[in-house]
A and B are shown apart, each in its own frame.
Chain A
């Protein structure tokens, strides 16, 4: 039997979303990144068009990474203490995007002001020319004053901003509409709420075609199989025609993987599992490649070694799939 006869003939494809704007498009990025477009069960090229390669974003913080674990500090060296230098070091690893998380604005971190946050955004946009994600500190009240300023500072750059949630979406959606950014719609491992957030954003005028679904991410060993099944169910519904689940999916792997004890604990604490220097990046990479199989379109990572491993995995999967 010819494998193409096994194609399920899906009705719809994952939306194609472009992030970033070059000079020609009114921004200052050196390139844009396009994600989505798949119309098949992930990586089964005979089932339908594979779409674009999943994109990788490297996470950095506006306040530097001095609170990050030792393995990550070592990987970036001195640059990690200065967001602009850190951004340059991360961009040199050749990711598709940078993911700037505004943790410095968190009330229990530096509690920095919206103006300071906007200044950081401008400085990083000036220092590197790859497309940018900007993520709040996840305290709604603070995000609602910080993110509009960050959005304005990045106007025209077609960034990806997050995150809109069921109980807190209006401010961010309005900013993204006004300043021309893409939107992360977050839901707490709940496919019903994933649809609901999309409806809410759409009701206030935000196009469904510009949304990226963030269904919440878990590290390997911490519920990733549950995330996997949610992503799988959403993707199959989207391919079957559900317009509220046709958005590309984002996995925030780095922040979760580096909370896992398997990634960070010393050899003394976890005898037999090998040196943390290799184990940490491996835990992060495996957490990510797992989600590649569930149809992740955009993955946020932290460690340079994990990024290289996942880049290689994507290339192998992609080449195999398009050859089918």
Chain B
């Protein structure tokens, strides 16, 4: 499972304060903790910083780079920012994210190929988040086809079928999994499939429980990457155990340690 650690995000108060005060230690400690907990990549989200988000992003990238060479997933909806920040990760990162509208997708694919980085593409177009399975598959297929045309290797492409909160969209969790099963068969090698997990439980109670349960369900449908909090030990233990039960590793009594050791 490809784990993208979500903790370096200006939505968190301590991160926001650290960005404002340019306090490297807070950010670097978080980055190291996420990596130690099993993160394969680190999401970098400047959050609602008012003053000069570009400078803040540069600072975050450079600050994390001082302590980790894990790929950095630059999490920002604005093309003007993405275009400038991506060269800063020097071929070791992921664009997070773009939508599936052809014009936008083409632009982002070009940026990814040119800089040798990954791309997370959402199955959303001008109609919004699909309410059904079919539209997700259609948009996912379109993303895959355009990525191939653009020359982006499948292992650098992450299709995000977009999860919505279960309290307002109860059919969506199952739709997403049906879409995953179909999309996995569209190409060989298949791209990665990723979700921003915490969306599934927005404004719900039992958030952690919902997140963990959904992640296991989605993994069995073919999800192989997720933007999650790797510091949630129980969640990580469930990821590892699911992989064990999928025969992605050989059992030993300390298989939880073994997985973390191998990272």
A residues engaging B (CB < 8 A)?
191-196, 199-200, 202-203, 233-234, 237, 241-245
Contact = CB atoms under 8 A, between A and B. Distances in A.
B262 A199 contact: no
29 contacts: A191-B250, A192-B251, A192-B252, A192-B253, A193-B252, A195-B250, A195-B252, A195-B255, A196-B254, A199-B252, A199-B257, A199-B258, A199-B261, A200-B254, A202-B261, A203-B257, A233-B250, A234-B250, A237-B249, A237-B250, A241-B262, A242-B249, A242-B262, A243-B261, A243-B262, A244-B258, A244-B261, A244-B262, A245-B250
Nearest to A202: B261
B198 to A, nearest CB: 28
Interface in B207-226: none
Interface of A is mostly: helix
Interface of B: 249-255, 257-258, 261-262
Interface centre among B249, B252, B255, B258 (most CB of A within 10 A): B252
Contacts of A237: 249-250
A36 to B, nearest CB: 18
B262 to A, nearest CB: 5
B162 to A, nearest CB: 30
Contacts of B255: 195
B74 to A, nearest CB: 27
Given A192-B253, A242-B250, 14 more contacts: A192-B252, A193-B252, A194-B252, A195-B252, A196-B253, A196-B254, A199-B252, A199-B254, A202-B261, A233-B250, A242-B262, A244-B252, A244-B262, A245-B250
Nearest to A196: B252
Contacts of B254: 195-196, 199-200
A31 B80 CA distance: 62
Contacts of A244: 252, 258, 261-262
A234 B257 CA distance: 18
Given A237-B250, A244-B252, A195 B258 contact: yes
Contacts of A199: 252, 254, 257-258, 261
A244 B254 CA distance: 11
